[in-house]
Amino acid sequence: MIRLLVVVSICAFVLALVGGATGSFADGFFVPLGKPGARKHGKLGPTWADHALGLSIATAFIAIVLASAHTLGFMRDEGMYFDASKSYAAWFEKLLSKNPADRAWAMERPNSDSLWQPNSEHPSLMKSGFALSWIYLWKTWPNGLVELLSRVWITKPLAWLVAAIGARAPKLFVEESAAFRFPGMVAGGLILYLTYLFGAEARGRAAGLCAALFYAALPRPFFDAHLAGFDAAAALAWLAVAYAYWRGLRDRGWAVAAGVVWGLALLTKHNSWFLPVVFIAHYAWVAYDVLRGRPGANPTLAGRAKKLPIPWPFLFMGMLGPAIFMYGWPRVWYDTWARVDWYFSFHAHHDYYNLEYLHQTYFQPPQPITLPVVLVLATVPAAILFAAAVAAGERWRALLSPLLPSRRLPAIELEQDATTVAGALADGRTVEDPRRTSFFWFFNMVLPIALISHPKVPHFGGTKHWHPAYPFICLFAGAGIVLAAERLAALATRASRATPPRWLVYVLAGVTFGLVFTPAALETARSHPHGLTHYTPLVGGPAGGADLGLMRGFWGYETGALVDWLNTHLPNGGRVYPNDTFWSSFEQLKVDGRLHANIEQEWGSASSCDVAVVEHEQHMDECEHQIWMVFGTVTPAYVVTLDGVPALTVYVNPKSQRFVP
């Protein structure tokens, strides 16, 4: 699969180069593609070469993530999702069978209910993806997929393609877990694809390209992209719906797409229900700013209303979103309202998980309102945050436009062309497009963080619950790079009073991008596979995060870094107390062949174990004390570290007969 992804990435990049050579990028890398006049011929927005460039970035990212996944252990939640996905897979195998009796069996309520019961607190889309990937890309590859696609004439060419790939690659993944994790990796890659398109349309290709690569260099989202979880997909869903809504304000076809994509987002994770709040607030902001009187505007309210985009996305989101949610989740096909009510009640009254923040563990609300902001500062590379702040600061008038006197906010209207827009930007004048994109980005950036900041909202999983904000941070950061390059070029040519040459802007943009991207990418590379223990140099790195009393090494995955040590020291088998590692997650290490099959786990007590491990969370201190008492030693046998910071400590029972020093 890695080779296939690399080939696709290279081919897509070559297509993008061909597109550039044949004029697909003729409107330039710095002109926003969504501005009227940006394209002399054809529709606004990205060309096929833009899609090829986005696909190249996305597939390269997926290949990197897949290649690095074998060193990462399994989260506690992943074990639950492995189990649930195998249950759903049994249903899909019946539903997609050639046998009509099997298909009828799948649609019978007792059978459907029993197979869709596991992990019913989360919707179906990602776990269905895990299940189908496991069936067709691992369990039955390639024959199962070839047979499925061969049933209908329209998909037979795909069947031939799969057969050809299967002949060259009879095994796509080295480990079974990679098949479960692959849909999450694809979601992570698609975030880069959409980030590029969104940035390119709104602020120019250079800004979009920088934004996509910045997202790839964020340590925590990179960590999440490896997982069979919902978090990368939730960030993708938020970004995809926002992009479809934004385009839907101008294009009715995209308005329909917004409804479809929102339905898929609802099937991904419950935080997607908050998206209409973003859109309603954005549209109210736009409406007020467009309808208020301003010098040079139409003197009548009716005349100004003609400039207001028609909110078609709201109509189709209301029509399609909930319907897709209901029809796409077999769990709610029966006892529909009772089960939907249970779903909302579950998340409205979710258990509070423990979290450590500034040396204090919180088990109940109120929880610290400052935690998300501090963790953003501690986990997002500072150079990216600074670039985003520069761009947002430069757009402060656009962000606050309805609150400012009309005379101070000249606006670029629909009739004006890209040359006017580019000239206004170069002159430093305040401009904003009719969809108020700066405010839209800003609100999408702020709301996910604000939601989780509420002291009664359960906090767990570190930063993952506000990752939907991160593509928008990167979009601002990409715009900041372009802004810096334009301003630096203008300063360099001020003495000659000449327009900065385009080559100079390109060079300065490349240098500025490199200064921001390189340290972020190096941080991300260094953080793997201990991503939750990593913190940025702004707080002193991993050691600074530990000194501040921030969470590290939680979620039960660090046992993945211990397999080689266990295999070496328990060659004839043994028993391990895995502390916070979920049962199925530990077993998956053996299924994948990483851990010897004769090494067992014991959750109940460490007293009967040869080895006991402790993940370094504050509330786990008592477990470590109990191990000391049971084993009669306080001396670790091995410590898993990141930059010298312990993430997992291993103790050996002195009475063990199977441990080999």
The string of DSSP codes covering 382-406 is HHHHHHHHHHHHHTHHHHTGGGS-G
Q: Which pLDDT value is given to residue 537?
A: 95
Q: Which residues partner with 612 through β-bridges? A: 577, 651
Claim to verify: residue 515 and residue 425 sit in the same structural domain: yes
Condensed to tens digits (0 to 9), the pLDDT of residues 355-380 reads: 888 988 888 888 889 999 999 999 99
Range in 413-417, 599-603, 654-658 with the lowest mean pLDDT: 413-417
132 domain-assigned: no
Range in 61-75, 435-449, 480-494 with the lowest mean pLDDT: 480-494
Claim to verify: residue 276 and residue 416 sit in the same structural domain: yes
Claim to verify: residue 476 and residue 592 sit in the same structural domain: no
Dig out the tokens for 314 from the structure.
């709201």
Range in 201-215, 284-298, 336-350, 431-445 with the lowest mean pLDDT: 284-298
Question: Whole-number mean pLDDT of the chain?
Answer: 89
Residue type, 601: Q
Claim to verify: residue 491 and residue 574 sit in the same structural domain: no
Dig out the tokens for 75 from the structure.
């989260």
43: confidence class by pLDDT, cuts 50, 70, 90:
low
Condensed to tens digits (0 to 9), the pLDDT of residues 397-407 reads: 778 777 766 54
154 domain-assigned: no
Q: How many CA atoms lie within 13 A of 412 on its CB side?
A: 23
Give the residue numbers spanning the domain of 337: 2-69+182-523
306: confidence class by pLDDT, cuts 50, 70, 90:
confident
Residue 270 or 411, more confident: 270
∠ CA 595-647-82, nearest 5°, is 45
* Mean pLDDT score, 258-270: 95
136 domain-assigned: no
Residue 280 has pLDDT above 80, yes or no: yes
Q: Which residues partner with 614 through β-bridges? A: 649
Q: How many CA atoms lie within 13 A of 389 on its CB side?
A: 8
User: Quick one: how far is CA 323 from the chain centroid?
Assistant: 25
295: confidence class by pLDDT, cuts 50, 70, 90:
low
431: confidence class by pLDDT, cuts 50, 70, 90:
very low
Domain boundary among 523, 548, 567: 523
* Mean pLDDT score, 532-550: 94
Q: Which pLDDT value is given to residue 496?
A: 62
Condensed to tens digits (0 to 9), the pLDDT of residues 488-524 reads: 888 888 766 667 788 888 899 999 999 999 999 999 9
Q: Which pLDDT value is given to residue 527?
A: 94
Claim to verify: residue 270 and residue 362 sit in the same structural domain: yes
Residue 464 has pLDDT above 80, yes or no: yes
163 domain-assigned: no
Residue 412 has pLDDT above 80, yes or no: no
Residue 422 has pLDDT above 60, yes or no: no
Claim to verify: residue 381 and residue 433 sit in the same structural domain: yes
* C-alpha–C-alpha distance, residues 316 and 256, integer Å: 5
Condensed to tens digits (0 to 9), the pLDDT of residues 194-250 reads: 999 999 999 999 999 999 999 999 999 999 999 999 999 999 999 999 999 999 998
Percentage of the chain with pLDDT > 70? Answer: 92
Claim to verify: residue 485 and residue 611 sit in the same structural domain: no
Q: Residue 19 in contact with residue 186, Cβ under 8 Å?
A: no
Range in 37-51, 113-127, 241-255 with the lowest mean pLDDT: 37-51
108 domain-assigned: no
Claim to verify: residue 207 and residue 293 sit in the same structural domain: yes
425: confidence class by pLDDT, cuts 50, 70, 90:
very low
Count of domains forming the chain? 2
Q: How many CA atoms lie within 13 A of 445 on its CB side?
A: 21
Supply the pTM of this predicted model: 0.93
Domain boundary among 523, 550, 585: 523
Residue type, 283: Y
Claim to verify: residue 405 and residue 304 sit in the same structural domain: yes
Claim to verify: residue 389 and residue 494 sit in the same structural domain: yes
Residue labelled with tokens 């049933």: 151
Claim to verify: residue 621 and residue 488 sit in the same structural domain: no
Claim to verify: residue 488 and residue 601 sit in the same structural domain: no
Domain boundary among 473, 505, 523: 523
Residue 418 has pLDDT above 80, yes or no: no
109 domain-assigned: no
* Mean pLDDT score, 279-283: 93
289 domain-assigned: yes
User: Quick one: how far is CA 254 from the chain centroid?
Assistant: 22
